Amino acid sequence: MTCQHRVVVTGIGIVSSYGNTVDEFWNGVRNGRTAIKSWQPHDVDDFPVKYAATIDKQAFGRKFAPWVESHKNIERRGLFGVVAAHLAFKDARLKPDASPGVSTCSGAPEISDTDLAAMVGDSETEVIQNLRRHRHQLTNHSGIRCGNDSMAAAIARHLHADGPVLNVNGACAGAAQAIGLAFQCIRRGEKELMVAGGADSVLNLRTMSKLFLLKAPSTATRYGAALCRPFDKGRSGLVAGEGGAILVLEAQDAAKRRGADIYGEILGYGSSLDAYKITAPHPEGAGAHTAMAAALRDAKLPAEKIDYINAHGTSTPLNDAIETRAIKAVFPHALKTGLKISSTKSMIGHWIAAAGAPEAVVTLLAIKNSEIPPTINLDTAAKDCDLNYVAHQSQSARVDYAMSNSFGFGGINASLIFGRYSE
Amino acid sequence: MPVAFLRQGCSLLPGIKKISEILHTAEAIPIKTKTLAPDDTLGLTNRCGLLPPDDLDSLKVGRIIRKTSEQQSRWLIKAGCETWQRLYGEQAGGTHTGLFAGLATIACDDDKHVYCFKNPKRKAIAATLLRKTRPLAGLALLNTTACSHLATQLQITGPNAAFSPHADAGAAALTEAYFNVLEGNCARALCGAGSQKITPLYFLAYESLLKKFAATPWFPTESAAFIGIDSVYGTADGIPPDGILIDTLRAFGSEKKHRLPAIDKLLARLRVNNRNLPEQVIHTGTVSYSDTLRVLTASHLPTANQFFIDTMTGYTGPASVLLAVNLTLEIFKQGIALDQHKTVKKIAQAPQTSALIIAQGLEGQVNYLLVGKAP
């Protein structure tokens, strides 16, 4: 393959707990403001998971009322994705006939609690009868039909995409993989314009119960809203968040031709598999190491060039220690030079399948704004977490090259490398 | 110039041991009529092809894989492991091997009890879900457990991607595997896809969508299929490849009226990109407009034989593309061509040099993959 186009990011769209503009989102993370608060499913008061970073349904519904009305056939997180894609397209100042490709991830099928309540019955026969009665609804709600592709298709329809349209499945690395695949697609010359990223929400009874039974989320209460504490010795599990983030990726030539503003450049992508256990990451971080090394190789950059790592940093006891170990293996100088690392999840929670997308946005904005957002709630670093995690407050620093890590459940890993754009 | 060499792998279909049997059975594969709900309360007595449950006993898989894999994943694990064993023996995959998969709808509705509650109030639902859900049921929601298990079993640690949930997902997996091998991200890739597990919920959920789009009668089939893709000609044992992947393209036509133009555009690009046009076309992803599609394809490739694989196998979702590749490689081996009108299959002796696989997703995704005979 001789074609090697440079790939730049020309648009960002975001739907988050902070708001729905790039500025609102950036101000939230750079100021270390937590979006995590007390949470319970509607009409439930004793659910074991007590905190999450949520999007105000009513406010979102009011602001995007026409969207909610015209996209009744997709689940809520799908709507986050469509709105984010629309905002990204607008941010990039693209014309409606630009015909992009789409590469997104939206995770496990989402079934709303209302729909679930409508389906249930006290016997299998009654369940089936309820299902039959609601069969029109089953088609409209992809959570019930157990596909998870409605968001990718809805974005493609909305933006008049002409392909490729990819619905990526990669657990918590899914959105990072979706961005990586879109990047490769443009680099090889298959397409000039792609929208890529993810949207997800696990804040529903079905998914959250299953996550709880997998012992993934923290059920602690002693830290209150400061529960998400990546790399801290008091960390006790992930804290879920929700939202959508979509990036417009463009071949540099095409972006320059139309005079687009450029946030930054994507330089490398690496993915890997732990091949260890479905329920735990490789203890030495072998998969994380492979993904980071592959991304560096792909970007043709030595490790020393990386100024900042946006860590996966989930606040789970296993991930944060293992990610630290893997970073030290790939960046042996990290401890000595104080390589800056931070976890966006400490503020916005874990967007699960979509997590890599807002974190890619933060990484790009850190480069663009020469400011590294903090890891909040990091009061006492754990013994096995001994790097510079930019605790509590953001730091001004020129960032030319930065990496964003996403390491998913089941050992699916992805790393992306972004760079400051210069001709 | 890098080349992606293809090696035929395992194809799981109900009642069939090898893909070559499709060529020589008189009709479609054995499709059973099965009532999917008690007392037929769904009113859905459907034809469907069901694979037998697999406990993975024939494979040396670890306890954790057995304990944590659901049935839909097990078919993928079985087909993937058998393909690997056949092509690469006991070798470990390592970082130079990639894993690319097309996954079907998520098999999270297997336990019907998750919808059975005496009290439909949310508080009671929450309590029941937390009490009755199997502890590892959340793994099914990920839809990627089969990939993780395959990676563990075969020690594949290289680049990877998985897509879902229809025929285009199989095409996307194959396309990404192809590019990863060509671009040197991995030396070889295990590429496969599965089908939906057929349940009452699956039927109910998809009936409207499929009635709108799919051919009538529509019958889903459980399946899984894998192939190997290599950057080198021979395996470690010196076994030559069965074919090469020459070209691949993907497009999207959002509305039904745009799908045929999208395919038209793809076929036009095929003619520009490739000097030697294929003599065989295999269509995957059941469509209601197969006659129009046949005419459109013939307008670009007038001498090509056209075969609609779903009419023989049933709707196998992402697996259909990998089944089509394995079938194509078999056609090359046997030196035959496969034509079809409606559900009648015609076989003629005709040496093939290339075949085009056209895959369509349900939402407007269209893909083609041009497969050539091994040099």
> Using one digit for the tens of pLDDT, what is the confidence trace for B185-208?
999 999 999 998 887 777 776 766
Q: Between chains, do A273 and B147 touch, taking CB under 8 Å as contact? A: yes
Q: Is B212 exposed, middle or buried (0-12, 13-18, 19+ CB in 10 A)?
A: exposed
Interior CA angle at B135 toward B131 and B140, to 5°? 120
pTM for the whole structure: 0.96
Considering the domain architecture, whether residues B315 and B272 belong to the same structural domain is answered as yes
User: From the DSSP assignment, how many helices (H) and strands (E) are in chain B?
Assistant: 12, 14
A157 CB within 8 Å of a chain B CB: yes
Distance from CA of A27 to the nearest CA of B (A): 32
What confidence tier does B45 reach under pLDDT thresholds 50, 70, 90?
A: low
Residues within 8 A of B (CB atoms), A 116-145 only: 116-117, 119-132, 135-136, 138-139, 144-145
For chain A, residues with pLDDT lower than 50 are none
Number of domains present in the structure of chain B: 2
Q: Are A345 and A241 in contact (CB under 8 A)?
A: yes
Residue B245: strand, helix, or coil: strand
- Domain boundary, last residue among B197, B230, B263: B230
Write B293-297 long-range contacts (CB < 8 A, 24+). B293/B260, B293/B263, B296/B260, B296/B263, B296/B264, B296/B267, B297/B263, B297/B267, B297/B358
- Domain boundary, last residue among B230, B260, B289: B230
Of A228, A289, A350, A385, the catalytic one is A350
Residue B237 located in a structural domain: no
Considering the domain architecture, whether residues B45 and B10 belong to the same structural domain is answered as yes
So what's the pLDDT on residue B29? 63
**For residue B95, pLDDT beyond 80:** yes
Of A172, A185, A228, A385, the catalytic one is A172
So what's the pLDDT on residue A16? 98
**Closest C-alpha to A8, from A266, A358, A186, A261:** A266
- A350 is known as an active-site residue: yes
Residue B198 located in a structural domain: yes
Distance from CA of A189 to the nearest CA of B (A): 12
Phi, psi for residue A409 in degrees, rounded to 5: -55, 140
So what's the pLDDT on residue B266? 87
Considering the domain architecture, whether residues B224 and B249 belong to the same structural domain is answered as no
Considering the domain architecture, whether residues B159 and B260 belong to the same structural domain is answered as no
The Cα–Cα gap between A300 and A310 comes to 19
Q: Strand pairing partners for A266?
A: A7, A418
The Cα–Cα gap between A249 and A183 comes to 7
The Cα–Cα gap between B339 and B347 comes to 6
So what's the pLDDT on residue A241? 98
Q: What is the mean pLDDT of chain B?
A: 87
So what's the pLDDT on residue A145? 59
Considering the domain architecture, whether residues B100 and B155 belong to the same structural domain is answered as yes
Q: What is the pLDDT of residues B200-248, one digit of tens each?
A: 777 776 766 666 666 556 678 999 999 999 999 998 888 999 999 999 9
So what's the pLDDT on residue B210? 64
Q: What is the pLDDT of residues B60-77, one digit of tens each?
A: 888 888 888 888 999 999
Considering the domain architecture, whether residues B137 and B259 belong to the same structural domain is answered as no
Considering the domain architecture, whether residues B276 and B326 belong to the same structural domain is answered as yes
Distance from CA of B373 to the nearest CA of A (A): 21
Nearest residue of chain A to residue B105 (CA atoms): A147
- Domain boundary, last residue among B179, B204, B230: B230
Q: Strand pairing partners for B48?
A: B32
Residue B333 located in a structural domain: yes
Average pLDDT over residues B317-336: 95
Comparing A133 with B134, the larger pLDDT belongs to B134
So what's the pLDDT on residue B85? 95
Domain that holds residue B151: 4-230
Considering the domain architecture, whether residues B45 and B133 belong to the same structural domain is answered as yes
So what's the pLDDT on residue B200? 73
Question: What secondary structure letter does DSSP report for A121?
Answer: B
**Closest C-alpha to B306, from B315, B318, B297, B319:** B297
So what's the pLDDT on residue A228? 98
Look up residue B313 and give its amino acid: T
Query: For A7-257, which CATH class?
Result: alpha beta
For residue B109, what is the domain's CATH number?
A: 3.40.47.10
The Cα–Cα gap between B307 and B293 comes to 11
What confidence tier does B139 reach under pLDDT thresholds 50, 70, 90?
A: confident
Considering the domain architecture, whether residues B51 and B74 belong to the same structural domain is answered as yes
Query: For A267-418, which CATH class?
Result: alpha beta
Question: What secondary structure letter does DSSP report for B246?
Answer: E
Domain positions in chain A: 7-257, 267-418
- The beta strands (E) that lie in A23-139 are given as 37-38, 51-52, 101-105
Write B19-23 long-range contacts (CB < 8 A, 24+). B19/B225, B19/B323, B19/B326, B19/B327, B19/B330, B20/B330, B20/B334, B22/B312, B22/B313, B22/B327, B23/B327, B23/B330, B23/B331, B23/B334, B23/B336, B23/B338, B23/B347
**For residue B100, pLDDT beyond 90:** yes
ipTM over 0.95: yes
The Cα–Cα gap between A75 and A199 comes to 11
